[in-house]
Structure 1
Amino acid sequence: MFGGFEMRTTLAIDDDVFSAVKNLASVQRQSVGSILSALARQALKANLPALHVRNGVPLLPVRSTDKAVTPELVKQLQDELQ
């Protein structure tokens, strides 16, 4: 549901996927759309990195090649802008 309304759209779904979802929907006595939505949510949650929060602010992921942002670096960048 989107803002309290069900959103409708057209998707191209491979025949084998549609058949499997249709069978699953029949077994679980749910609509094909609700099964697809549930499967999409599971897949999206599984691929999301863990969100770390500090003082209520989400932290960005750090890569091993990233430099730490220090007060000195901020000052240097400010000086370069002036």
Structure 2
Amino acid sequence: MRTTLNIDDEILEAARSIAGERNLSVGAALSELARRGLRPAARVGRKRSGFPVFEISHAGTVLTLDRVREHEGDP
């Protein structure tokens, strides 16, 4: 389906990065990101060695080289 959206620059950058890494269109990458966002949040499970065990999806924030360079000088 075609539609027009206003997308934050950071989201578009992440989608482009995912698209490039996985040989997808930017639209397909955005759809994947939306699906990840719709999944249930991580749940805290039982404790192991005194620490809570979290179930998380394999989805995560995309850390691009540009974002690393942006923060190289941060304290």
Q: Which is helix-richer, 1 or 2?
A: 1
- Give the TM-score taking structure 1 as reference length: 0.45
Higher strand proportion? 2
The structure with the larger Rg is 1
- Higher relative contact order structure (alpha carbons within 8 Å, sequence separation ≥ 6): 2
